[in-house]
Amino acid sequence: MTMGTEGDRTMIRAQRVRRLVGLGVVLLLWVVACGDDASGDAERFCEINADLGQLDDPFEVDPDEARDVVRQGRLLLDGFVSVAPEEIRESVEVAADYFRMRLDQAEAAEFDPAQLDQTDVDAKAASAETMPARAAIEDWVSANCST
């Protein structure tokens, strides 16, 4: 049996680091979710908003990484809703439902953009419910979150 190349070992280490980071996100979100505050947590909301913005596009990474992106995305969305400030909570729920639908579609398409029903995606993104929700969140984030 031969030992792997240095590149193989580096790739294995990178995969382990990604899994540990993913586990850390899961644990952090579990702690946040356990403290459901009806009035929200603006600071944590801003942090999760930034974390969501850093997620990779599941169509632009290999399928194993895409599965991790989808899992992390779902967990972040749950935390996003649970800590949402009261004044935008309804908008956050609408936007989270939209992004959950996008994650579901990515999985169903097996992370292949050619398998995605783009017409459905575009219709939902431009819906009378989704657009104002996203705008309300963006306005609140601009006014309340430091960049």
Each residue's pLDDT tens digit, 91-138:
999 999 999 998 999 999 999 988 887 887 788 778 888 899 999 999
d(CA 143, CA 74): 26
In a domain, 26, yes or no: yes
* pTM flag (> 0.75): no
Q: How many structural domains are present in the chain?
A: 1
Each residue's pLDDT tens digit, 22-42:
544 444 444 444 444 456 899
In a domain, 1, yes or no: no
Closest Cα partner for 72 from 61, 85, 88, 86?
61
Query: CB atoms < 10 A from the CB of 125, how many?
Result: 13
What Å distances lie between residue 3 and 8, 15, 116, CA to CA? 9, 18, 40
Q: For residue 67, what are the domain limits?
A: 6-144
Q: 51: which 2 tokens?
A: 């974390």
